[in-house]
Structure formats: structure tokens, C-alpha cells
Amino acid sequence: MTPNLIVRLTALEAARTAVPVLITPEETAEAARRYEVSLHDPEEPDPRAQAYWATATVHQLASNYDAMLKGAPAPWE
């Protein structure tokens, strides 16, 4: 960075007012409740998927992941 840019950024950061975040105990409890609700028991893994992940090479993983990003089905389906 140029010295001029450093001076300008320093001035901007010094002028910035930060508002402290105050979270009430009720908000903390509500956030904890929402988090617990979002957790779920994991489903039983598909044996075909387990076999794929156990045997695929890094190159296969990369190419299959790229294909899935483009809309291809998962290789174990």
C-alpha cells in the first residue's frame, strides 16, 4: 500500500464509531434454543456412498465434485 493510502485508511478507521453489541440473557437463551433445534440426528449413511468415499482417489473426488457442481448426480446414486 502507498503511504497516502495507509494514512487515509488509518483516518477512516479512527473516525469509525463502533457500537457495542449488547446481548441480553433472554436473547442468549433464545439463540441457544434455536441452535439446539437446528441440530438433528444424522441419518444412516448410504452404503454406496460409504464405499465411494472409502475407495475414490483424490483425482476422482475432484472431477466428480466438479461434475456435481455442474448438475450431475452423485457418483454413488
When pLDDT is cut at 50, 70 and 90, the band that residue 77 belongs to is confident
Q: Who wins on pLDDT, 66 or 44?
A: 66
User: Do 76 and 52 touch, CB atoms closer than 8 A?
Assistant: yes
Q: Does 19 reside within a domain?
A: no
What angle (nearest 5°) sits at the alpha carbon of residue 32, between those of residues 45 and 44? 5
Q: Does 17 reside within a domain?
A: no
55: containing domain: 46-77
Q: Does 68 reside within a domain?
A: yes
Q: State how many domains the chain has.
A: 1
Find the mean pLDDT for residues 72-76: 93
The pTM (predicted TM-score) of the whole model is 0.43
pLDDT tens profile 7-63: 999 888 888 887 778 899 999 999 999 998 888 777 788 899 999 999 999 999 999
